[in-house]
Amino acid sequence: MDESDRSNDVFNVWLLIHAYPVGILNSIIVFVDVYFLITTYSKKELFEILEVKPDNKYLLRFVEFYDADIQKFFPNFSYKPDMNTVSFFVLRNMSITGLFLAHQEENHLLKIGLDYVIPEYRDFKNGKYVYSKLRQKFVNAGFTKMLAEGNSPSHIKYLQKLGFKEGENKLFECELVKNR
């Protein structure tokens, strides 16, 4: 007996015991759930970035406030304002949902120090926006490749889902410009 047979048996039991109101109520719940899933996943959201200077007070407060959660994904992360050449908040419908910090390394490499998204918005949409929609912005700034450290299993999974490939020394790479 497979899963579908068992679930059909549950519906058949309602018929056998004449519990029609329960069957109707459960059917309504299924339709409501499907409706909310469709509206949630088809909702258009507006993404933007807000570039900030490395010594921005809100940025400093944001890092301080979310430090415990940041440490789960980026153990030993310590904010060093003088190190970042790229600093921006990710806005989703004008709400700050994430922080992206990176710096330029030799050979046109962009080394990502922090790509943090607050817990309520961890659905990969921020990452897709940063690594897909902003790709050309990084290329226009002269970068040919992005590097990120795989600091935790969940962060590694995130990087792989966004197209990063594992390289040397736990560094994950994403080519911005294909080698010809």
Q: Which tokens in the block code for residue 163?
A: 């197209």
- 74-118: per-residue pLDDT in tens? 998 999 988 888 999 999 999 999 999 999 998 899 999 999 999
Is residue 38's pLDDT more than 90?
Answer: no
As a whole number of angstroms, the longest Cα–Cα distance in the chain is 74
Average predicted confidence (pLDDT) for the chain: 87
Please state, in angstroms and rounded to a whole number, the distance separating the CA atoms of residues 74 and 148. 11
Please state, in angstroms and rounded to a whole number, the distance separating the CA atoms of residues 61 and 50. 16
Phi/psi of residue 156, nearest 5 degrees? -60, -45
Model pTM score? 0.76
Of 117, 99, 162, nearest in space to 174 by CA: 162
